Amino acid sequence: MFRRKKRWTDPLIPELMELVGEEHVLYHRSDLIAYECDGFTLVRGEARAVVFPADTGEVAAVVRHLHRKEIPFIARGAGTGLSGGATPLGGEVIISLVRMKQLLKLDLENRTAVVQPGFVNLKLTRSIEGDGYYYAPDPSSQYACTIGGNVAENAGGAHCLKYGVTTNHVLGAEVVLPDGEVIRLGEDGIPDIPGYDLLGLVTGSEGTLGIVTEITVRVLKAPEAKQTILAYFDDVEEGSRAVSDIISAGILPAALEMMDRTAIEAVESANFPVGHPLDVEALLLIEVDGIAEGIPSQSSRIVEMCRRRKVREVKVARNEREAAAWWANRKTGFGAMGAISPDYLVQDGVIPRSALPDVLEKIREISRETGLRIANIFHAGDGNLHPLILFDGRKPGEKEKALAAGSRCLQVCADAGGTITGEHGVGIEKIEEMRLVFTEEELQAQIAIREVFNPDNRLNPNKLFPQPGRCAEVKQERQRTVQGK
Amino acid sequence: MFRRKKRWTDPLIPELMELVGEEHVLYHRSDLIAYECDGFTLVRGEARAVVFPADTGEVAAVVRHLHRKEIPFIARGAGTGLSGGATPLGGEVIISLVRMKQLLKLDLENRTAVVQPGFVNLKLTRSIEGDGYYYAPDPSSQYACTIGGNVAENAGGAHCLKYGVTTNHVLGAEVVLPDGEVIRLGEDGIPDIPGYDLLGLVTGSEGTLGIVTEITVRVLKAPEAKQTILAYFDDVEEGSRAVSDIISAGILPAALEMMDRTAIEAVESANFPVGHPLDVEALLLIEVDGIAEGIPSQSSRIVEMCRRRKVREVKVARNEREAAAWWANRKTGFGAMGAISPDYLVQDGVIPRSALPDVLEKIREISRETGLRIANIFHAGDGNLHPLILFDGRKPGEKEKALAAGSRCLQVCADAGGTITGEHGVGIEKIEEMRLVFTEEELQAQIAIREVFNPDNRLNPNKLFPQPGRCAEVKQERQRTVQGK
């Protein structure tokens, strides 16, 4: 029996198969659809192929090959990113890291873990919680997102108020540079290293400087005890003031989350309702953790501070199950929007904590003016807002209106002395908004840094920074939609 | 009355005077002696002049002028650095920032302070402690060192175990680039910003990327309560194991310091004796802080853990005065070496905590082999060692022997999977040792980053990285001394 030798329309495909194995390359149009975008679904593009390397050597081999052939490429983890960082703009090869999902090393004595980039965030905590440890950064997508993706986006989460974002937990990385060279950054387990902080530079670089193929992270001892407090307010401003009071009092909660009335309606209509009253204007969900003896006094001080701010009701979770239900209700909040709106656009801005009441009022104005409902779910403790703009994509013009409203929310954050992304990244979504917070010179300085690592802009091209060329078209298109509101 | 117009041997001097005022330029050889080195006194060089600008505008004007004339220059704070980062190698203009010492803005609601670079570290805490706040990074030189210098060196301190180093507390900076352009990095008060983390890159860049002229730092609410514990051990290894036990138990002390027998002899012979027994092999000084209710149980657990490790004596400070005396005794430890030795060389290496007993034994071996006493005072909690090599510079060859012993200590740290500096920096001192922890390619990647900011290597030239040219001579000289042991 002879198998007829397949003739390829794209000669790159058999070359990639040579490098990673035939079954680890996708190239059919139907297979590529799933890779047209990441969690930011409003911009889509078609990849040339998707490859699934098994290890660093295969990543480096694929990268060297693409570098020689001058073909652009993008690294991708679970694709849960919310700003289009893993979205192809047309013709890129996607290097998916999902097969590289091993926990390579655990050193609990020195509190470090070494993982491959495709290792799922939550699995790390699951692997070590039996020994009393956990991995702190906890984006809401932690059940699916990968630590490699977390490094690319410098992911945060509800607990970054107390424990910091991903960059505070990454101690070392192996990186494949855009020409295929493999370097190591950081020293495993050593917090400060000599020379420039290249590890910090790569963390949060949104896949534009290199492909991280191995990561050493810090793991923490689980806190001895924790407690969750829930407070309902008839007035958003009073809730915001309670947030300020708590922080000013020197209490550093592990998490301090706020949801407004529209957000509460959504989460109560979705899969994890917990009986929140539907007529309150805001709720605060507060977690304190630490040494067992310290918890009751912290809880009662927080309850007291809420009471001083005209809280309608404030309660402490009666048991772990109740706290877990409250948190599940909060953590699935974005998805819950589907219960009250056909589509939604999540924004991500940061403001100084003291500007919270003002900025929330301005977002309500945008909602009134555009006629679009805007729900707010956010990390109030560190001023990281997530306005969720609800719209119906089937109605002509609504998507554009939503994009414009989102852009205005970011402008409000920038005007308040804040910035345009807290944890979701710039990706393709916010390229234009980079101009709200950086001057042309500052952008050029950043692009000069990219050129050191990625001189041909072949790795994740046309992301993160506004620039001429292909990107200009995308920008123009986005500007048209933004201006078209 | 006519003043005769002065004729300058160096035409640069009147040009600098034009920019910053006549009384703010030093140029007499006798005046320049004080600027021949910083706290690392083993390498000295002569500056061409020292200028004292009053503000960012003057810094930028001086830098632009020197850039045009292709004259190298160095920024300098209080000159307390321990690796020669502010030491001229010959012919540089030193830009001293000590006149720029204002606290520009305090925003306690958002917990930030904006300072000029010459503002002294401890003055920040002194300015806000009345309101219950403090600035966390506390290098032992904090009574003198400046926050600008802290940013350059990414300074640590006894409390960085719990609170992190300078980079964890810097939120924004104004930077004069080596061509005189002024840029701002970071957003005031916003922890995570879009784009590459250039602020993190500049922090710890040892004055080679730009001159920081304004800094926004995070200030913290002072902990509600703290307690200090002192434990004496007859065996260094048992003390090291107690350190591991404490960390493994999930207690995160604010500080966890160790001194060995020789160090104890020194501090007890110097200005702040507290009656430590002179025949113990090690002491641990441990501070816990946080919510008042949590302190007694943490203290008693630490006492218990020390007891399980054959402690000779362990005691809890009876009052704040006693704790303060113990800390003054520790914090002046380096200077105390003068009481038992004519000269000393302080080293600064980092190791994984678990390697502590092994590495200490290897340092004792170096001491035995070289015949030089080595005292150890160090941040045991984060594995940041400070071997103090005692020598008599008047004896021929002893300085060289001490330098060689210091270099061997760093080799031991690197071999143990650690690195060559925890908080003192590379400066001129450890240029050669950079090769112990970085490959040639990794060094080239870092130099490529420097070239983005500092393409002519005119700002603090020949520091931080081994490279050809003038630096090679210095390297050769150092190699000669190291090999000459």
What is the per-residue pLDDT across A302-352, written as a single tens digit (0 to 9) for each? Answer: 999 999 999 999 999 999 999 999 999 998 888 899 899 999 999 999 998
Which stretches of chain B drop beneath a pLDDT of 50?
A: 1, 468-485
- Sorted by where each begins, the domain ranges of chain A are 12-96, 103-221, 223-339, 341-485
CA distance between the termini of chain A: 63
Is there a contact between B187 and A448 if contact means CB atoms under 8 Å apart?
no
Burial of B229 (0-12, 13-18, 19+ CB in 10 A): buried
Respond yes or no on whether ipTM tops 0.90: no
What gap in Å lies between CA A13 and CA A182, rounded to an integer?
Answer: 24
What pLDDT does residue A101 have?
Answer: 98
A216 reaches B (C-beta below 8 A):
no
Is there a contact between A111 and B247 if contact means CB atoms under 8 Å apart?
yes
Chain B, 335-374: which have a CB under 8 Å from a chain A CB? 350, 352-354
CA distance between the termini of chain B: 63
Q: What is the pLDDT of residues A40-65, one digit of tens each?
A: 988 999 999 999 999 999 999 999 99
Burial of B39 (0-12, 13-18, 19+ CB in 10 A): buried
> Would B12-96 and B103-221 be classified into the same CATH topology?
no
How many residues are listed for chain A in this entry?
Answer: 485
Q: What is the pLDDT of residues B121-169, one digit of tens each?
A: 999 999 999 999 999 999 989 999 999 999 999 999 888 888 889 999 9
> Pick from B469, B338, B335, B343: which is nearest to B406 by CA?
B343
- In this structure, are strands A374-379 and A255-260 parallel, antiparallel, or unpaired? antiparallel
CB environment A175-192: b (16+ within 10 A), e (fewer): bbbbbbebbbbbbbbbbb
Mean pLDDT of A215-237: 94
Min distance B350 CA to chain A CA atoms (Å):
7
What gap in Å lies between CA B215 and CA B212, rounded to an integer?
Answer: 7
A183 reaches B (C-beta below 8 A):
yes
Q: What is the pLDDT of residues A4-34, one digit of tens each?
A: 667 788 999 999 999 999 999 999 999 999 9
What gap in Å lies between CA B403 and CA B168, rounded to an integer?
Answer: 32
Min distance A193 CA to chain B CA atoms (Å):
7
Alpha helices in B142-202 (DSSP H): 147-153, 160-163, 198-202
Facing residue for A446 by CB, picked from B196, B291, B352: B196
The letter for the amino acid at A198 is L
- In this structure, are strands A387-391 and A374-379 parallel, antiparallel, or unpaired? antiparallel
What pLDDT does residue A484 have?
Answer: 33
- Cα distances from A355 to residues A120, B203, B277, in angstroms, run 35, 28, 55
B157 reaches A (C-beta below 8 A):
no
> Going by C-beta distance under 8 Å and a sequence separation of 6 or more, which residues neighbour residue B84?
B37, B38, B40, B43, B427, B428, B429, B463
Mean pLDDT of all residues belonging to chain A: 91
B417 reaches A (C-beta below 8 A):
yes
Higher-confidence position of A187 and B464: B464
Min distance A335 CA to chain B CA atoms (Å):
25
What pLDDT does residue A476 have?
Answer: 42
Chain A, 425-444: which have a CB under 8 Å from a chain B CB? 425-426, 430, 434, 437-438, 441-443
Fold of B223-340: Alpha-Beta Plaits (3.30.70)
CB atoms within 10 A of CB B243: 25
Q: Measured over all CA atoms, what is the biggest interatomic distance in chain B, rounded to whole angstroms? A: 83
**Contact list, B250 vs chain A (CB under 8 Å):** 132, 221-224
Contact between residue A458 and residue A470 where contact means Cβ atoms under 8 Å apart: no
Domain spanning A341-485, CATH architecture? 2-Layer Sandwich (3.30)
What gap in Å lies between CA A363 and CA A388, rounded to an integer?
Answer: 11
Domain A103-221 CATH assignment equals 3.10.560.10:
no
**Contact list, A216 vs chain B (CB under 8 Å):** none
> Going by C-beta distance under 8 Å and a sequence separation of 6 or more, which residues neighbour residue A242?
A231, A233, A284, A305, A306, A308, A309, A311
CB atoms within 10 A of CB A8: 12
Chain B, 7-46: which have a CB under 8 Å from a chain A CB? none
B301 reaches A (C-beta below 8 A):
no
Domain A223-339 CATH assignment equals 3.30.70.2190:
yes
Fold of B12-96: 3.30.43
Q: What is the pLDDT of residues A457-482, one digit of tens each?
A: 999 999 999 964 334 444 344 343 33
**Contact list, B298 vs chain A (CB under 8 Å):** 291
Phi (first) and psi of residue A334, to 5 degrees: -60, -50
What gap in Å lies between CA B231 and CA B286, rounded to an integer?
Answer: 8
Our CA angle for A219, A212, B414, nearest 5°, is 65
The letter for the amino acid at A176 is V
Locate A71 and state its tokens. Answer: 């073909």
**B462 DSSP 8-state letter:** T
**B223 DSSP 8-state letter:** P
What pLDDT does residue A189 have?
Answer: 56
> Pick from B197, B110, B194: which is nearest to A414 by CA?
B194
Facing residue for A445 by CB, picked from B194, B198, B430: B198
